Amino acid sequence: MKIQGGCLCRGIRYEISGPLTDVGNCHCSMCRRFHGAAFGTYAKVGAEHFRWLAGQDLLSVYETRPGIGWAFCRVCGSSLGIPAGGKLAEITMGTLDADPGVRPTEHTFVGSKAGWFEITDGLPQHAERPTGKTQ
């Protein structure tokens, strides 16, 4: 599987060459603000399956704690994901060019959910994050 993605201004481009896993919708207050939306949808990608194609120098990271942050394009503001080791450990599904085939399997931080948004699917809902997860 190879799939590309990137930001709104197309300055930042990346390529995924392996499976996307742990797809989830995060409703926490930080993700809501980061995305300007009811929730953010993230997927994990192995470091060996992620590479930048262009614009890595345009990537900015907003850190809430040292080493914990959100990556975005400093030109257009697109939310790109969770950085780790100079790559993205989790990508925002909305920045993918095409449908990767995987689907969200859960809602996290539903305890912080926007009151104006109603979850209408049957996926498991977690008040915070399921045990064993870091984001």
Pairwise CA distance, residues 51 & 122, whole Å: 34
Pairwise CA distance, residues 92 & 101, whole Å: 14
CB 126 within 8 A of CB 109: yes
Question: Does position 9 bind Zn ion by CB under 5 A?
Answer: yes
Q: Which is nearer to Zn ion, 48 or 81 (CB)?
A: 81
* Binding residues among 62-121 for Zn ion as defined by CB under 5 A: 73, 75-76
CB of 109 to Zn ion, least distance (A): 5
Pairwise CA distance, residues 12 & 78, whole Å: 9
* Binding residues among 20-39 for Zn ion as defined by CB under 5 A: 26, 28, 31
Binding site for Zn ion (CB under 5 A): 7, 9, 11, 26, 28, 31, 73, 75-76
